[in-house]
Structure 1
């Protein structure tokens, strides 16, 4: 039986991975995290981690995301959790887990540091300069060296927007905004974004644990804002969100630039909304047999099965 250590197993993505791994009778799952619901109660940013010696596979999902730091202390938190936390975990594994075979790290497409582009591949430079992106780049670089020195198979999954039941981040905000009638569609809303279904990520874990490598994962369709807005509105049985012109949106964004960090919209955020940004998952399809489902269909099913809390 394979023993898997799963960090962040009670978070959004971690929970999907946990549920899927538990269906495999040949796998025993230990969760590590700060809440009392975990098998091992610990904070990865702490250097004092105590782990069993018979761990075969690590799936490192725990990390800090979905927030914009406003102070040096908040910026440092990204480094402490995403980078130093990864180092602490590896140090504990190196001292205890003699049976370790594979380490799977959940990373992000933010490492590329791009606001626009089409079908960006894994070979693209890692130019991300936000605290979140930098912390993930540092963790990736550390892991590549550590895994090579210790003969561990390393898998790195660079993920875009993740969809699933009660999604966090921008997708959850869009769903809740449309549900409450507080969402505005901007212009033609034809910019496309990569997205991936959480359960599909869970299903590929066992494959990458045996093979390793660095992969972008997407649903392969890359829906536009317009398509997402329509699918969500239809599923919620709500009218299509009201539109505002690009002229008005840009005017509001400029006001946001003057207001500062407290503004929900500024020119930089608007530019991201209006720009297509997609990533290629061809490598995963060719090497891992990646065959994802289309998120647009899944969003409709999830909303109508009442699995979304809001």
Structure 2
């Protein structure tokens, strides 16, 4: 008989999150009938009170989405090197003694999603965008890219940020203006980290012999860029791949059970998206 434990995803907005679908599917597959996984609308201002009044010994952990990935750090008892490298925590594990330790499963989740599709090493890459996901993309590229990364960004300030992340993560980062993003596709791997609609105008510029596109969006899917990429014969890794792989790592950390049921979690996510 399993110990009753709670887990949840926090963020704002949170109603769209697929995390409950993925984690509940894992619990069902693992036989953790007494475990629960919920979602809570929590912004930065409300996060300290949630930690103080809600997060007790009955909890196994939390998944965090925007805008909480940096705001949570001062509330934790420890932070992994992976999370500290990008100053972003998307996973909190509550230990039996009450310690709250933060980690980032987005970075190894990206690497795992790429490796599942046969991308282990590349000699160059491009990143579209410069937000929080872009810094995680650079951290993932630090593990698999042996050469330069070009980041296509909208401002000089964003360009400076990306070069700064590159220095911190040990990645050779060059920057280019967003207006030149149509020229981003001549490298083995392109990671699109921008909001829905941002890359739509780039779809006509996908080359005949494209490499791999990792588009972190999953709804709506496919994006016009991903569709054009697939039509041209290029390899496409999608946001659901990332979501599932980072959730697999969260489930393993929170439950202590390995391996987490990747296939069941992916099927649950696909079914949930198809029903929207």
Q: Could you tell me the TM-score, scaled by structure 1's length?
A: 0.35
Which has the higher Rg, Structure 1 or Structure 2? Answer: 1
